[in-house]
Structure 1
Amino acid sequence: MKYLCLVYSDENDLHSLPDSPEDKECHAYATHLAESGQMIAGEALEPVATATTVRVRGGQVSITDGPFAETKEQLAGFYMIEAKDLNEAVRIAAGIPPARVGSIEVRPVRQLAV
């Protein structure tokens, strides 16, 4: 089953705390998951200031600079993984280096009926 592991962190803390991961550590973990066949995709995101939010209401498109909502933690990246169940997905998510300074939201991917 596919799971999306969303990496959340306060952008100001992500690389400044004693336990903060470095890019090479995140890359090494992603490489390990890829070699085990559990990594489908993953990317780090640019800072939240580069985000654009798009909404459509009543057929009208509205574009806003920045994220959808003000929050303490911002979406910093994601890992799309393959795991046999939620327990395995949580174990994999616990190994994602930014979990030490932020949080990892684990969500099953729903197959669309198309």
Structure 2
Amino acid sequence: MKYILLMYNAEEAFTPEEMPEHMKYALDICHELHAKGQYLGASPLLSISTATSVTAHSGRAEFRDGPFAETKEQLGGYVLIDVPDLDEAIAIAQRFPSAKRGTVEIRPLFELEGLPDS
């Protein structure tokens, strides 16, 4: 089953000095998953200061700077995995730095027919 691991934490959860070590640790996990055939993709996101939110209600598009929700924890990145079950997804998610200083949300993917190949 395919899952997305959504990494949430406060933007200041990791100091600039800590970030390289935590990024390397997360990359190592991704390489381990790749070696097992469980890795589908991943990417950190840039700061919320670079975000733009768009709505298109009643045929009129509106946009604003920043994320949609004002929250303490922000979406900082994602990892896509293909594992047998939720228990394995949980075991993987708890290893990521965001699980230790924020939250990793695990969501199964809805596989939609007719999407273009990546």
TM score, norm. by length of structure 2: 0.87
SS at match of 1:22: helix
Asked if 1:110 corresponds to 2:107, the answer is no
Gaps of 5+ in 1: none
Distance 1:60 1:97 in 2: 40
Name the amino acid aligned to 2:52.
Answer: T
Post-superposition Cα deviations, 1:26-78, rounded to whole Å, max 9, x if no partner, equal: 11111111111111000011011111111110111111100001001000000
Post-superposition Cα deviations, 1:6-29, rounded to whole Å, max 9, x if no partner, equal: 00000011337x8x9521111111
Q: Aligned residue pairs: how many?
A: 113
Q: 2:84: which partner in 1?
A: 84
Distance 1:21 1:5 in 2: 20
Change (3 A) 1:3 1:72: same
Structure 1 residues 17-36: aligned runs within 5 Å = 22-36=22-36
Q: 1:4: which partner in 2?
A: 4
Distance 1:21 1:76 in 2: 16
RMSD between aligned alpha carbons?
Answer: 1.9
Distance 1:12 1:22 in 2: 13
Gaps of 5+ in 2: none
Q: 1:56: which partner in 2?
A: 56
- Aligned structure 1 segments of 4 or more residues deviating by more than 2 angstroms: none
SS at match of 1:99: helix
